[in-house]
Structure 1
């Protein structure tokens, strides 16, 4: 369980000292897990999803996330659980936020208020609840503990999608012209959060066969919510083109690249594990393109261990010509470009 010391200024300042990150973001990330544990304590049935769940899935948190996103079965009586959760330390109250969505999605939004030790005033953690049946083919149980938290046995657990399934979910979210967060609508950082999470999950997923079926279910649900004229393959190609723009550093889709760069710069303060740059993003975009090509061609995603053997290979697809520069500046990424290149040839053949 979480120790009360998590919610004291001393702990937040110590995290600030070791990470050199914004203490307000650190505070909100820690308090978000306080809310998660409160929901678990009152026995509320839910699936934990979204960016914050990656902070449990991954061995070490990489991106600070400050909201709690959950899925509840349609018809779940939330109020009896949330009122009790709002009485658990460090929270003071809960208030529902009435938002009118632009699509056919049943959601509720709540603010859980607490006294901020950093700002010395009331602040809140957002809880977003999506009412739908479970689309994930694989759920796992995770204890509420990570590098940010002070804990002691016994640990409470929550149910969340496996890395394989949340990767599929995040791929649908990084598709800015179809099922994902749209470009150029004031959410540039949110777009790049999805990109960052996809690239992080590519490092830890374990079963390629779980990704495609889950992706198909979630993509179809998102298409239906948005009432758009697309199919799951269109959404995958959307992700591919967005990743190609980032990988090419604007040589492809030149007008969109500054939006991605703006999102990267805004995201930097939220990255716990590294100093994130457009150059780093470009290299990781190659892996995303390869995953998309694997899903489109139903070809197993194979991680590259020996990058050197790809250096003598040439890019054959004109679509990827703008990525030739990676051969010199990022041989690891170039290997994934070559693998993508060969799969594109098969798809076109």
Structure 2
């Protein structure tokens, strides 16, 4: 379990020694988000933890902070408010309230805010809990303990249900499609788009089963299209993902306005990465992985190629004139080029 010490200024100061380049407010909010997650589980709420923080628990390689909790419930429990009241009565949070933010009318989603007094400056701050009421479907699920280096824990461990890497990878593709099912360009949420790209790059490196990714994508894609009342199919959404990734790879030579928005997102994303940056080159590498993943799904593949060493690209060249400008990436980033080459190959180039 997470100790009460995790919510103290002394603990935050200790943690910040390992995250000197990050905003302490973001680190503290991540700690409190994990605390809220654990309290929901302790109080007996049976949910699937599907938000970005689940990647922090699932993968050691996932090195970015997240500030909100996203969970999935089949329907609203009658005792949900009682659970929230009990969580606040234990002293970690002062109060809770429903956040009446605007949600697309057909999305069965509610938002709650949990308030605590920051140890940084004593001001009230809020962790958001987003609940999507939806059946589990055929998502691949795992049970993992709530453990991470930003929190202090003692036995017994508190487990939560999360989606598998492959299941999350399929879900994330639908979020990285700004013109269809994803976070749109036009709402000043460029950082959120880049968060999805970052996560896709990390998850791709841990990919196990393409069929599981495809199954997850199909389920989530069709659901999101239904919520938005869009008469589109999976192929359109996948091509949206591909096109968005390509916009980054071409560095402004393609869809200049969208490229500028994505670059704004990259610049704003730096505070969320553990002690490091996420450069344009890093984003292009992630985008190349997305382009290849999309083409494997569109081609119906169940096998995929993985980059091993720079030597593997030495003899590779993209000959199709439509895509040949991508050869410039070969010298600067062999890994990105490897995935671009294989994506173009699946396109018949």
Structures share a fold, TM > 0.5? Answer: yes
State the match for 2:9 in structure 1. Answer: 9
Spell out the pairing of 1:93-108 with structure 2 (5 A cutoff): 93-108=95-110
Corresponding residue SS for 2:85: helix
Give distance in 2, aligned partners of 1:80 and 1:316.
64
Distance of 1:3 and 1:246 partners within structure 2: 43
Moved more, 67-76 or 237-246: 67-76
User: Which residue in 1 is equivalent to 2:39?
Assistant: 38
Q: Map residues 54-93 of structure 1 onto 2, 5 A cutoff.
A: 54-77=55-78, 78-93=80-95
**Corresponding position: 1:23 with 2:19:** no
Task: Please name the residue that 2:280 is paired with.
Answer: 278
SS in 1 for 2:306: coil
CA contact (8 A) 2:61 2:202 kept: no
Partners of 1:294 and 1:261 in 2: how far apart?
27
**Structure 2 length-normalised TM:** 0.95
Question: Pick from 202, 214, 217: which aligns with 1:215?
Answer: 217
Q: Once the 2 structures are TM-superposed, how far is the Cα of residue 100 of structure 1 from its aligned partner?
A: 3.2
Match of 1:338 among 333, 338, 341: 341
Moved more, 98-107 or 289-298: 98-107
Q: 1:289 to 1:13 in 2, by over 3 A?
A: same
| Residue in 2 that maps onto 1:177 | 179
Number of the residue aligned with 2:310: 307
Structure 2 residue aligned with 1:195, among 175, 191, 197? Answer: 197
Superposed displacement of residue 61, structure 1: 4.1
Per-residue deviation, 1:10: 1.5
For 1:316, the equivalent position in structure 2 comes to: 319
Is 1:164 the counterpart of 2:166 in the alignment? yes
The runs of 5 or more residues in structure 2 that have no matched partner are none
Instruction: Specify every segment of 5 or more residues in structure 1 that has no aligned partner in the other structure, as ranges.
Output: none
CA distance in 2, matches of 1:137, 1:109: 23
Q: In 2, Cα distance between the equivalents of 1:15 and 1:317?
A: 51
C-alpha root-mean-square deviation of aligned residues, in Å? 1.5
Please give the alpha-carbon distance, in whole angstroms, between the structure 2 residues aligned to 1:166 and 1:309. Answer: 29
- Answer whether contact 2:242 2:294 (CA < 8 A) is retained: yes
